[in-house]
Chain A
Amino acid sequence: MTLDANSIIERRAAITGVGQSDVGRRLGRDPLELTLDACLAAIDHAGLTVADIDGLSTYPGPMATPAGFSGAGAYDVIDAMRLRVGWYHSGLETSGQLGSVVDACLAVASGLANHVLCFRSVYEGTAQGQAGRSSVMPGSGGDGGGFKASGFMQWNLPFSAPSAAIWIAMFAQRHFHEYGTTREQMAQIALNARKNAALNPKGIYRDPMTMDDYLAARMIATPFGLFDCDAPCDGATAVIVSRIERAQDLRNPPLRVEAVGTALHGRPSWDQFEDLSAMPNRDAGKQLWTRTEFKPADVQMLQAYDGFTWLTMSWIEALGLCGVGESGPFIEGGDRIARDGELPLNTHGGQLSAGRLHGYGFLHEAAMQMWRQAGERQIPKEVQVGAVAAGGGNTCGCLLLVRD
């Protein structure tokens, strides 16, 4: 199907401001307060006031488990700021964390709102406490052994596979098998992130890391070692999506949403997706390029999800920035994805080194770079076309941003 430009209504939306709360491993702060800090910062950054906000969108909405996964829901923020919204939405079942931003684009494009406040808030660092990730695994404590697995967890918990680390490791392993991908190649995602986090004042792990450090770290679930896994943290990120007509005279030049990718063509499952060497992001990535005249070669910067290192490689392939199966050689050595390379990647340190802000951290960073407000870690070249991608497994979405 060929789309005419008028049907690609995300182009009537722009990112106009971003904000972030304090970020840390265990801040011990009220997660709603962190959320509101990020929201107020984004509104101010856009040059708006709270009264201008007439829409709200968030991922995933209120959730009691896993602990710390959702710091605030839509109603919490609408009520705390006494917002009057023409449209609002939250939800988990969407095209990744950025699905909430896509929803906001469609809402402003359709006239339901002018300025939508979008946010993602986590406090997994504090919620997991000193016990680490194992403390939040289902059935891992306090239930007297009577816990039974149901829903989709019944297909992996009985096999002692409670973590996405294991589920995604099996995708990576298949990729290694089919394409000869190596841990030394995959390491570049982690090493690049650590190098960039050193220049990010909010980075969580800022000490230098070498290939030897990476390879010597304890294994979690092969082929993932400790440094292939992101760092749970506390923090909130907010983004303002504005109707393009209302975006022109604000504080920052509008970052137009040129195209989005939201597709899901395979089974929405961690173990039933037909091609285990790829992920459903393959479909979202492909779809994005059907909605724009830009080509993968035009992308000057990529901010792509790294909940686990291999997910970033998967996104590089999904977005067509290299061939299928070629992400290993593509990132080998790390020069290409460095801040001063051909395709600067995760310039804030990603979730691996700057904390698991869960998807929105990448959009925040893309905007800061395209506005040239990234301080010490600013990409040397001018970036007018940037790609942002978030999610893994069955929940994936991507955006192409353009600064005209």
Chain B
Amino acid sequence: MSTSSVVPFRILPRLTEQNREFWQGGERNELRFWRCQDCAYYIHPPQPLCPMCFSKNMGVEAVCGDATLTSFSINYQPWMPGPELPYVVAIVEMVEQPGLRLTTNLVNCPIDQIRCDMAVQVIFEHHEDADGDIWLPLFEPRHLAKNEAS
């Protein structure tokens, strides 16, 4: 399992039936999204209706974990306890579908080498929690060998 080495304090998501697969897929090293089983459109955040064909026939499927960095911000402000400053907040778009995006952190990348549209891949940060463990999907440059940071 890929896990980044230093685990900072994080506010964790409250698990629900809708988000559980997304936040816990990392246990099996999978980034999972809801997907319409009729028209194959990935849906994020989860919702009970496909916005393309209006089907309610939902499944959950893993994507390959590769994405492009749509945008980013190097955060210097100590808003709250969290990763060591500065840390990088990013929006990434999964390669499987235009617009299949999430906010995340870019890790394992010198800040002077960050570029919009760079290729990235998922890496999971494991948090133990009494309400159910969480695996946060973070991203790192894709040129790093998979599982290098394990």
Tell me whether A and B are bound partners: yes
**A binding-site residues for B, Cβ under 8 Å:** 133-134, 137-140, 147-150, 152, 154-163, 165-167, 169-171, 173-174, 177, 218-224, 270-272, 274, 276
CA A385 – CA B140 in complex, angstroms?
A: 50
Determine the distance from Cα of A154 to Cα of B102 in the docked complex, in whole angstroms: 11
B116 touches A154 (CB 8 A): no
Q: When A134-B80, A149-B11 are in contact, do A161 and B74 touch as well, CB less than 8 Å?
A: no
A136 to B69: give the CA distance in the assembly, Å: 29
Residues of chain B having any CB pair with chain A under 8 Å: 8, 10-14, 16, 19, 44-45, 70-80, 82-83, 86-87, 89-91, 99, 101-105, 115-117, 131, 134, 136, 138
Q: Quick check: B71 and A173 within 8 Å, CB to CB?
A: yes
Q: Which of B13, B70, B77 contacts A163 (CB 8 A)?
A: B77
Given contacts A137-B79, A140-B80, A174-B71, contact A160 B99 (CB under 8 A): no
20 contacts between A and B (CB under 8 A): A133-B79, A134-B78, A139-B80, A149-B14, A155-B45, A158-B12, A158-B13, A159-B89, A159-B105, A160-B75, A161-B103, A165-B77, A173-B116, A177-B117, A221-B75, A222-B73, A223-B73, A271-B102, A272-B99, A276-B91
Q: Which residues of A contact B103 (CB under 8 A)?
A: 155-156, 159, 161, 167, 270-271
Interchain CA distance A219-B76 in the complex, whole Å: 6
Contact A221/B12 with A158-B134, A160-B82, A160-B89 known, Cβ cut-off 8 Å:
no
- Measured between beta carbons, the chain B residues less than 8 angstroms from A155 are 45, 102-103
Cβ–Cβ contact A162 & B79, under 8 A: yes
List 7 additional A-B contacts (Cβ < 8 Å) besides A134-B77, A159-B104, A166-B89.
A148-B131, A149-B14, A159-B136, A159-B138, A161-B75, A162-B80, A272-B99
Q: Which residues of A contact B117 (CB under 8 A)?
A: 177
Nearest Cβ distance between residue A115 and chain B, in whole angstroms?
A: 42
Listed residue (B11, B16, B74, B134) with the most chain A CB atoms within 10 angstroms of its CB: B11
Contact A276 B73 (CB under 8 A): no
- Residue in B77, B86, B91 whose beta carbon sits within 8 Å of that of A170 in the complex: B91
Cross-interface CB contact of B91 among A160, A219, A221, A271, cutoff 8 Å: A271
Task: Evaluate contact between B13 and A150: CB separation under 8 angstroms.
Answer: yes
Closest residue to A174 on the B side, CB-wise? B71
Query: Which residues on A sit within 8 Å (CB–CB) of B99?
Result: 272, 274
Q: Return the chain A residue nearest B82 by Cβ.
A: A160
Identify which of B77, B101, B136 gathers the most chain A CB atoms within 10 Å of its CB: B77
Q: For the complex, what is the distance from the CA of A159 to the CA of B45, rounded to whole Å?
A: 15
Residues of A within 8 A of B79 (CB): 133-134, 137, 140, 160, 162-163
